Amino acid sequence: MSDPFLDDVEEVPPADEGGLDSILHHLMDVITTAKSMPLSSSVMVSREEVMGLVQSALDSLPEELRQARWLLREREEFMNEVRAQAERMVQRTEIVRQANAVAQRILDDANEEARTLRHQAEDFVDTKLAGMEIVLDRLTRTVQAGRAKLAAPLVAPAAEEAGAAAEEDGFFDQDQA
């Protein structure tokens, strides 16, 4: 005698052929295509077939979980490496930024000191040149006075006449005396 439940029983695929996903889809197909019980909303399914599918799913579950855990561990290791690399890049970027800021500050200080030294040097040179100008002006007047004295004997007869005229006016010129 044949069992009405076993007539439509399909062979359960091994767990490693399609994986957990295909086993669960096959189980859904068995349930959705099962014959309805008369005068009820219940369906008749083969206990052996459903139990075989559930057992296959359970058997394949640990392998799938191991693979998923392995993938999660690999992903976490990858993310840790990426985070570490990003942190190193940020640190390098921060170090470069700080180095640039220090270099700019040093350049600004050096430029300011150079401006100060340049102004001080200009002031010093200006002071020295002003002193030299005064000395040269005095020297020029002295030279002119000396030349004037040297030039005076050439015009001596005219100077004597001027001196005599000045004496008559009551004016005494010590240079002519």
The predicted model scores a pTM of 0.35
How far apart, in Å, are the Cα atoms of 97 and each of 4, 94, 139? Answer: 81, 5, 62
Q: For residue 100, which amino acid is it?
A: N
Residues in a beta bridge with 35: 44
Residue 174: its pLDDT value, please?
66
What's the CA dihedral at 52, 55, 57, 62 to 10 degrees?
Answer: -160
Distance CA 21, CA 57 (A): 8
Distance CA 10, CA 119 (A): 102
Cβ atoms of 60 and 15 within 8 Å: the answer is yes
pLDDT tens digits in sequence order for the chain, 177 residues long:
444 444 444 554 444 456 778 888 888 888 888 888 888 778 888 888 888 888 887 777 777 777 888 899 999 999 999 999 988 888 888 888 899 999 999 999 999 999 999 999 999 999 999 999 999 999 999 999 999 988 876 545 555 665 555 555 556 666 765
Cβ atoms of 13 and 22 within 8 Å: the answer is yes
Distance CA 55, CA 43 (A): 21
Helix, strand, or coil (residue 157)? helix
Cβ atoms of 49 and 10 within 8 Å: the answer is yes
Residue 164: its pLDDT value, please?
57
CA 61-62-66 angle, 5° bins:
120
Residue 48: its pLDDT value, please?
87
Which residue in this structure is represented by tokens 């970027």? 93
Residue 89: its pLDDT value, please?
87
How far apart, in Å, are the Cα atoms of 111 and each of 21, 80, 106, 122, 123? Answer: 73, 46, 9, 16, 18
Cβ atoms of 27 and 53 within 8 Å: the answer is yes
Query: What distance lies between CA 141 and its chain's CA centroid?
Result: 68
Residue 104: its pLDDT value, please?
94
